[in-house]
Structure 1
Amino acid sequence: MKRQKRDKLSRAHAKGYQAGISGRAKDNCPFQAVEARSQWLGGWRAAMEDRSLGLVK
């Protein structure tokens, strides 16, 4: 059975979240497309919020 690739936008969000958790700056977004960039930044913001609440070290 073939594995189905995840949606590119959800993948961009997950990558942004991982970047935020690791402490990377939001200026390091690797996406140029508006939709993907927006999702990446949304993930980054969610990670920053989780870090500020102490949910992630």
Structure 2
Amino acid sequence: MKRQKRNRLHRAQARGYQAGVLGRSRENCPYQSLDSRSSWLLGWREAMTERADGLFR
């Protein structure tokens, strides 16, 4: 069975989430295009919200 490639925006969001979990700054976003940057920041915000709720240290 072939593996499907993940959507680029989904990948950007996942990487932003990981950056947020690690406590990195939002200025560390590696994306320049508006769509990818927005997805990365969405993931970053989700992780930061979960960190504030105490799910991560």
For normalisation by structure 2, the TM-score amounts to: 0.94
The match for 2:15 is 15
The match for 1:34 is 34
RMSD over aligned Cα atoms: 0.7
Q: How many residues align?
A: 57
Q: Percent identity?
A: 58
Per-residue deviation, residues 2-47 of structure 1 (Å, max 9, x unmatched): 2111000011000000000001110000001100000000100110
Gapped regions of structure 1 (runs ≥ 5): none
Q: CA deviation at 1:55?
A: 1.1
The match for 2:54 is 54
